């Protein structure tokens, strides 16, 4: 596995040498100084006490607090009154802030990349290379990285893809899973009734009173007190939640206003859910988002384009897989330029992936 | 304005006369009895002490608690231990539960309606009649109903549609607005900077450092302490939030995991947000959902197909407007059969609407 | 391979026994009698000289000409003055015309089928069973049927899917291919330059002056005089057109107004192209349409829902695979009710299929 | 109406002065010399006998034939053996060929345009300015230009949009219309039966035996011998074809393999249809394409980005309006960079347009 090489800035050159220390101003109670600086997805450096210091485990659209000479990326909502917050909106080094956007050099890059860069992903884009690269990354990161999956409920509405995802978890290709109440609910519905929203996940036949199945499942889980106890109690042994539970893989289920239930593990406060997700994206080396705009954008917002590992600084690979070009390209358009998109049905994607790993 | 006529069931006929009283069982602590009955979007009747009693202000997928002879629709998460919950899954009257699905009779209905009913909405569906009917409904409900709007952020990314929506509010066509942090944020960004995500909402030109605009706006609102104080402080007088604030129209901003900020008025706990929304859908006579799957489905889940007004029992009209057939048809597929869909860009929809009202 | 059983009408019962002979009127020069009868995709019977006779190799929206007691389905544009054309628009047997819509009985059909029938295909539909069934059909029809493929150009823009399709042809899973100038052009471009519209079909890199590649390819084929001579001359041995040529599989390339070139084999007159396609759909037992609305609808229009084989009367299976629900469902909405849709990227579909066959 | 200013190249500068005359080679019988030069959508100049000469009424992907010192753009299929065809693939002037891509200067252009340029059109793009600009262009071009419309059948499936389009024609906003057999057929079906594919275009109700309506209409037109005679014979006075006929506006109906019928005016040979369309795009100053990928791409392929009028050289404005981002962006991705896209339902688009003009 060969990553593009990280090339650090040369801080012995201008404008770095002559640049002043970065400026800060104290935050108010729940708000930032007016001229606050906001982070990007790229490696960033701040000149503090005459030295350029890298920001660790960054994410975009956040404030930088400097304390004891150390810069820390902080969500604005977590800022406390008096925090010393970096101010100024230049990021070219001249004011003590440097964003190192082009930090990775591809082995055999060429002059056409500029043009290729502008090309969005569509149903007519070739994905052969992207698949092969993804297999390579996942094989590497299973043992040497931290793979986060972000799943929409469609992943468990199909027998083959639900089985494929469960197998990927069991084989070690998932270090953490993000989803909502619906993914977990319909996965457990499938474990108990073999249906998704009342429709057989293999034959697609509608079962009688099937619209009750997910409500019934939620009720039983709530009675059991937890997903794990529910699976035990009913001796269920298939699906995504079962694979997570038996392998001890952590998951974050974030609440949303369209939830029935919810299941006991769902986090009702969305900002606490963000905090829980953020603990994992700080560690992420690869993120795979399937068929959920809400969770994909939320995750993309809090994932940097690089990570520091024992192998050095390398890219974080983010994949957004959806059948809609709009959904795939949206994350990219919001500034998450390192996202790779695949426009396809995630059922086929999962089955493909599992078969090749 | 002529509504389809509500025809009540004739409870002097069978099977109603011979049917037993509805059965209940006590709920547990946070869960329902196993065989719980779940509500629909239609008028429902329960036989209690020998009398058929209608359930008021219903919504789908909920439990029915009977206390002092009165049935009340209750979200499962709000059930308390010991509540007497209706059980059984038949709804044809024979067990004391009757769902009155075909309760409305159109004036000039005909034999083709069955076939027409099956036809989904697509980009090739004719919407002329639907528009004319919607104008009629809105004119009536402005003075005699309760109109709830559910907006995605795209509504304020365009100068004309943002202005049209603000005018509709000022003209009295909005009794309550549901949205998320993003709609309010980008509307206020437009009020302050004339941009949406840093792009001029009229000329589409990108302004310098424009990606700061929404973060900057959020920060100022948080410093001001509320949207209203922010608008006052900066003497802003355009847009949706300004129209709501100056007309005293209530709004519910529900939090989500993709939020920056959030703005002070956003409700972080999604189930509390559901409760707040539910207070308004109980009163709704017309609901118009634009370009947001999350909020549309959430609202659809908690809105019945009928309402009781001074004019009698009439349909609640729910419109789902989105550029994606999938989004428009999804709510319908989930059981909200009374939803009418329009497949179009909501910018054009809003401009059309405002011009015709 | 078990097909649903064909059940013939019982013409010894009413209304068949008392029905009069079917009526005909003479056609004009280029037009039908005003009250012409139009065919469907189902088996149809006409009472001629007191006997009910089945129409062979039918297709929808055509006229029926009776000559020497034999009914023949005929495109209106091929009608000649004086042809005796069936008139009347009833098809329940009472007027001598009977459409046998529900002619196939599934082995284990059940009461839910009516409801399931109404459900369209979407990105959230489970396709596991559909895939397994398709594998089974293709294995059967390779040796006992006639498999027609209808391909849009996206099939050859990706290295893996182009290879998969070529392999399917070589393995005998294709008896005829329908496409346009673009599919053939970009397939040959890939054979010569390894690009699709100038982009490497594996790495996606843009090659220099790559926008010339397809024009250049077309020009060389025109100079060579035929696709086969071009492949020979340049010793090319990959792709769809190569697989067709070396296996002697027939293909129809229909012209369209967006063509560059065209290649020598493309049929410029669209009605002659329809005639050429129709020769193959008359024989088809399975039709697989990938990522082309134009050719898919054209083919669907001329393919019946049943065929007469040595194994008896069986269904013709038509699959429409596209990433857009609108495209997949459109054929169905136009009356081709026997079409099965899969909503996915056809790259994944082809790779899946080839791997499992 | 202020157009961006055309700035001609300064041929007194290098490399133009020292450049050699352009080279040509003779064409073969039905094919070009191997190293042929292909045209773009931009103004192009060829050095002939020491003078730089502009190519008139160009289009992309074609050959340039030089005869008597005059360069003429020629579709490769229309090349004759012995034609002197420009060869070489450089276009920077150094070899006698110069493509003047950035020939128009906007009045108040600014530094952000480069970035803005890269942004695709989506359902979340603001279209207010685009609409206002389009109104301005159409008002100007009605009297001073040549407006070509390219329509898919969806335009006549809705009562309001069909009426709006007919009014735009009657008011002089259409100099030529391109469409297929379906648009004309369903427009005439609506004139005769008030339905589109058997569904009432206002109420959306399905009429009995409505699937016959378009076949019946086609048959009557074929019997009448022409659209005009059919309209007269049945005294029909609504819709697009009626407006074209009564105003004497030319139209091109191009055949396709999905046609029923066809109507008498439809051109069966697609390359003859291309020729007929090309006669009009040579004159076009504005082109508006609605809801048809096939005809839109065909038209885009043969329309240059500039035109020479009495007011001087100005842009040709091409609008592609469709509900699918993929369709809107596709033309742009194929090299037709001057296309402006609007992502919306064309029903609303047409109604909006007619109301504002």
The tens digit of pLDDT for each residue in B4-31 reads: 999 999 999 999 999 999 999 999 999 9
Q: Distance (Å, rounded) from C-alpha B291 to C-alpha B280? A: 20
Query: How open is the CA angle A134-A357-A109, to the nearest 5 degrees?
Result: 25
User: What Å distances lie between residue D344 and C212, D121, D177, D179, CA to CA?
Assistant: 33, 11, 21, 20
Q: How much of chain C exceeds pLDDT 90, in percent?
A: 87
Q: What is the mean pLDDT of chain D?
A: 93
Q: Please state the rounded mean pLDDT for residues D123-152.
A: 95
| Contact flag A153-C207 (C-beta cutoff 8 Å) | no
Which residues of chain D have a CB within 8 Å of the CB of C101?
none
Grade residue A121 by pLDDT with cuts at 50, 70 and 90.
confident
Q: What's the pLDDT score for residue B329? A: 82
* Paired residues of B315 in beta bridges: B306
Question: Of all residues in chain A, what percent carry a pLDDT higher than 70?
Answer: 95
Question: Looking at the predicted structure, is the pLDDT value of residue C301 above 90?
Answer: yes
CA D5 from chain center: how many Å? Answer: 23
What pLDDT, on the 0 to 100 scale, is given for residue B118?
40
The reported pLDDT for the residue numbered D336 is 56
User: Which chain C positions have a beta carbon within 8 Å of D222's beta carbon?
Assistant: 30-31, 76
Which pLDDT score, from 0 to 100, does residue C339 have? 84
- What's the confidence (pLDDT) of residue D21? 98
A80-89: pLDDT as tens digits: 999 999 999 9
Q: Please answer yes or no on whether A262 and B271 come within 8 Å at the CB atom.
A: yes
pLDDT bracket for residue C330 (50, 70, 90): confident
Task: Report the SS3 class of residue A223.
Answer: helix
Cβ-based neighbours of D321, under 8 Å, separated by 6 or more: D288, D289, D290, D291, D328, D341, D342, D343, D344, D346, D349
At residue C142, the 3 state secondary structure works out as helix
Instruction: Identify the residue whose tokens are 């091109």.
Output: D252
**pLDDT at position A113:** 38
Residue that the structure tokens 């040529």 belong to: C245
Burial of residue B111, with CB atoms counted within 10 A of its CB: 0-12 exposed, 13-18 middle, 19 or more buried: exposed
- Summarize the confidence of residues B305-334 as an average pLDDT: 89
| A289 has pLDDT over 90 | yes
Angle between helices D128-144 and B159-170 (to 10 degrees): 110
Q: How far apart are CA A63 and CA A45, in angstroms?
A: 13
Residues 6+ apart with CB under 8 A from D295: C257, D150, D151, D152, D178, D179, D180, D254, D289
Strands B24-26 and B51-54: unpaired
**Which DSSP state fits A328?**
H
At residue D137, does pLDDT exceed 80? yes
Class of residue D80 by CB neighbours under 10 A (exposed 0-12, middle 13-18, buried 19+): exposed
**Which residue in D has a C-alpha nearest to residue A122's C-alpha?**
D326
Mean pLDDT, all residues of chain B: 93
Interface test with C, best of B114, B116, B117, B120 (most C CBs within 10 A): B120
User: Is the predicted pLDDT of residue D315 greater than 70, yes or no?
Assistant: yes
Q: Going by C-beta distance under 8 Å and a sequence separation of 6 or more, which residues neighbour residue D173?
A: D138, D142, D147, D357
Q: How far does D28 lie from chain C, in Å, by closest CA? A: 8
Give dist(CA C150, CA A131) in Å, integer: 26
User: How many residues does the structure list for chain B?
Assistant: 357
pLDDT band at A315 (very low <50, low <70, confident <90, very high): very high
Q: Could B269 and A268 be called an inter-chain contact, meaning their C-beta atoms sit closer than 8 Å?
A: yes
Chain D contacts to A (CB-CB under 8 A): 118-120, 122-123, 325-326, 329-330, 333
Tell me what pLDDT residue D339 has.
Answer: 84
> Subunits that touch chain D (at least 3 Cβ pairs < 8 angstroms)?
A, B, C
Residues from chain C that touch B329, judged by Cβ atoms under 8 A, are 120, 122
> Alpha-carbon distance A239 to B169, whole Å?
47
**pLDDT band for position A326 (50/70/90)?**
confident
Distance between CA atoms of D220 and D225, rounded to whole angstroms?
Answer: 9
- Above 70 in pLDDT, residue D110? no
The pLDDT tens digits of the residues spanning B57-92 come to 999 999 999 999 999 999 999 999 999 999 999 999
Question: A184, A253 in Cβ contact below 8 A?
Answer: yes
Residues A274/A277/A279/A282 CA torsion (nearest 10 deg)? -100
Query: Which residues from D are below 8 Å from C337, CB to CB?
Result: none
**First and final C-alpha spacing in chain B:** 15
Angle value at C-alpha B219, between B214 and B222, nearest 5 degrees: 125
Partner-chain contact C333 B118, CB within 8 Å: no
* CB contact (8 A) between residue D323 and residue B128: no
Contacts of C65 (CB under 8 A, 6+ apart): C27, C71, C72, C74, C79, C83, C84, C85, C86
Question: Does the structure show a pLDDT above 50 at B337?
Answer: yes
Q: What is the pLDDT of residue A213?
A: 97
Strand blocks (E) in chain C: 5-6, 24-26, 44-48, 51-54, 63-67, 70-74, 84-86, 97-99, 104-105, 147-151, 176-180, 195-196, 199-200, 251-254, 286-290, 306-309, 312-315, 317-322, 339-343
Reduce the DSSP state of residue B127 to 3 states and report it: coil
Residues of B within 8 A of A256 (CB-CB) are 256-257, 270, 294, 298
Average pLDDT, chain C: 93
The nearest CA of chain B is from the CA of D307 a distance in Å of 25
Q: Give the burial string for A52-86 (b: 16+ CB within 10 Å, else e).
A: bbbbeebbbbbbbbbeeeebbbbbbbebeeebbbb
- Closest by Cβ to C129, choosing from A116, A127, A204: A204
| Sole residue written with tokens 């070509």 | D148
Given this model, what pLDDT does residue D111 score? 41
Question: Look-up: residue for tokens 């308390």?
Answer: B80
Secondary structure element (H or E) that encloses residue D86, with its range: strand D84-86
Out of A28, A218, A274, the one facing B257 most closely (by C-beta) is A274
Q: Which of B308, B252, B288, B286 is nearest to B142 (CA)?
A: B286
Q: Which residue of A has its CA nearest to D118?
A: A118
Q: Write A269-276 long-range contacts (CB < 8 A, 24+).
A: A269/B255, A269/B268, A269/B269, A269/B270, A270/B255, A270/B256, A270/B257, A270/B259, A270/B268, A270/B269, A270/B270, A271/A77, A271/B255, A271/B259, A271/B262, A271/B268, A272/B268, A273/B257, A274/A75, A274/A298, A274/A302, A274/B257, A274/B259, A276/A252
Query: What average pLDDT score do residues A71-93 get?
Result: 97
Cα angle: B176, vertex B177, B183; to 5 degrees: 165
B122 falls in which pLDDT band (50, 70, 90)? confident
Distance, in Å, from the CA atom of B240 to the CA atom of B237, rounded to the nearest integer, reads: 10
Lookup: tokens for D74: 């020629």
Nearest chain B alpha carbon to C343? B326
Option in C126, C161, C200 nearest A157 (CB): C126
Q: Give the closest of A126, A199, A201 to C158, CB-based.
A: A126
Q: Which whole-number Å values give the CA distances from A148 to A76, A246, A283, D99, D140, in the listed order?
A: 24, 17, 9, 49, 56
Where b means 16+ CB within 10 Å and e means fewer, C218-229 reads bbbbbbbeebbe
Task: Report the C-alpha gap between A307 and A144 in whole angstroms.
Answer: 12
At C119, is the pLDDT very low, low, confident or very high (cuts 50, 70, 90)? low
Q: Inspect the interface and report whether the beta carbons of A116 and C205 lie closer than 8 Å.
A: yes
What's the confidence (pLDDT) of residue C326? 87
A288 membership: H or E segment, kind and range:
strand A286-290
Contact D94, D20 (CB under 8 A): no
C193 has a pLDDT exceeding 80? yes
Smallest Cβ–Cβ distance between D126 and the set B159, B208, B323 belongs to B159
The pLDDT of residue C336:
56
Over residues D329-339, mean pLDDT: 68
Is residue D215 within 8 A of residue D185, CB to CB? The reply is no
- Give percent above pLDDT 70 in chain C: 95
**Cα B161-B163-B167 angle, rounded to 5 deg:** 115
> What pLDDT sits at residue B45?
98
How far apart CA A209 and CA A4 sit, in angstroms, is: 54
Q: Indicate whether D109 pLDDT > 60.
A: no
Q: Give mean pLDDT, residues A321-326.
A: 91
DSSP state for residue D272 in the 8-state scheme: H
Measured CA to CA, the distance from residue D249 to residue D225 in angstroms comes to: 19
Residue D343 phi, psi dihedral angles, 5° rounding? -95, 100
More confident residue, B328 or D86: D86
List, in sequence order, every beta strand (DSSP E) within D266-316.
286-290, 306-309, 312-315
The pLDDT-based confidence of D283 (bands split at 50, 70, 90) is very high
> In the beta sheet, which residues pair with residue B87?
B36
Is the pLDDT at A203 greater than 80? The verdict is yes
Question: Closest residue of B to D127, CA-based?
Answer: B158
Q: What is the pLDDT of residues D174-216, one digit of tens each?
A: 999 999 999 999 999 999 999 999 999 999 999 999 999 999 9
Residue linked to tokens 């990314």 = B157
Q: How far apart, in whole angstroms, are the C-alpha atoms of residue D315 and residue A78?
A: 52
pTM of the entire structure? Answer: 0.94
Residue of A124, A202, A349 with shortest CB distance to C128: A202
For A297, which of B218, B222, B258 is closest by C-beta distance? B258
Cis peptide before B276 (omega within 30 of 0): no
Cβ contact A141:A147 at 8 Å:
yes
Rg (alpha carbons) of chain D, rounded to whole number:
22
Contact C154, C186 (CB under 8 A): no
- Give the whole-angstrom CA distance, residue B153 versus residue B161: 11
Rounded Cα distance, A353 and C277, in Å: 37
Best D124, D326, D327 member to test A by mutation, with max A CBs in 10 Å, is D326
Residue A333: band (very low, low, confident or very high) from pLDDT cuts 50, 70, 90: low
């Amino acid at each position: 596995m060969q990553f593009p090489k990280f090339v650090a800035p040369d801080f012995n050159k201008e404008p770095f040498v002559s640049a002043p220390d970065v400026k800060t101003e104290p935050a108010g109670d729940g708000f930032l100084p007016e001229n606050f600086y906001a982070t990007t997805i790229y490696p960033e450096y701040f000149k503090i006490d005459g030295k350029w210091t890298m920001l660790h485990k960054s994410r975009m659209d956040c404030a930088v607090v400097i304390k004891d000479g150390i810069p820390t990326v902080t969500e604005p909502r977590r800022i406390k009154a008096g925090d010393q917050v970096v101010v100024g909106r230049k990021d070219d080094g001249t004011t003590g802030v440097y964003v190192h956007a082009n930090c990775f050099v591809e082995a055999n890059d060429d002059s056409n990349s500029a043009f290729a860069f502008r090309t969005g992903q569509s149903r007519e884009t070739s994905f052969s290379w992207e698949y092969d690269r993804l297999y390579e990354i996942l094989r590497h990161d299973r043992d040497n990285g931290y793979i986060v999956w972000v799943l929409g409920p469609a992943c468990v509405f199909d027998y083959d893809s639900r089985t494929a995802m469960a197998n990927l978890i069991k084989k070690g290709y998932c270090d953490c899973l993000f989803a909502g109440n619906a993914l977990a609910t319909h996965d457990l519905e499938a474990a108990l009734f073999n249906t998704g929203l009342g429709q057989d996940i293999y034959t697609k036949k509608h079962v009688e009173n099937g619209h009750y199945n997910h409500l019934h499942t939620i009720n039983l889980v709530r009675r059991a007190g937890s997903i794990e106890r529910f699976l035990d109690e009913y001796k269920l042994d298939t699906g995504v939640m079962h694979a997570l539970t038996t392998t001890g893989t952590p998951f974050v289920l974030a609440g949303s206003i369209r939830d029935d239930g919810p299941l006991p593990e769902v986090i009702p406060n969305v900002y606490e859910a963000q905090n829980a997700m953020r603990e994992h994206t700080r560690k992420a080396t690869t993120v795979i988002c399937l068929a959920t705009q809400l969770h994909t954008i939320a995750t993309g917002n809090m994932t940097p384009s690089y990570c520091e590992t024992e192998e050095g600084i390398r890219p974080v690979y983010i994949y957004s897989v959806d059948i809609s070009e709009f959904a795939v390209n949206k994350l990219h358009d919001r500034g998450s330029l390192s996202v790779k998109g695949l426009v396809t049905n995630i059922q086929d994607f999962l089955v493909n992936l599992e078969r090749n790993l």
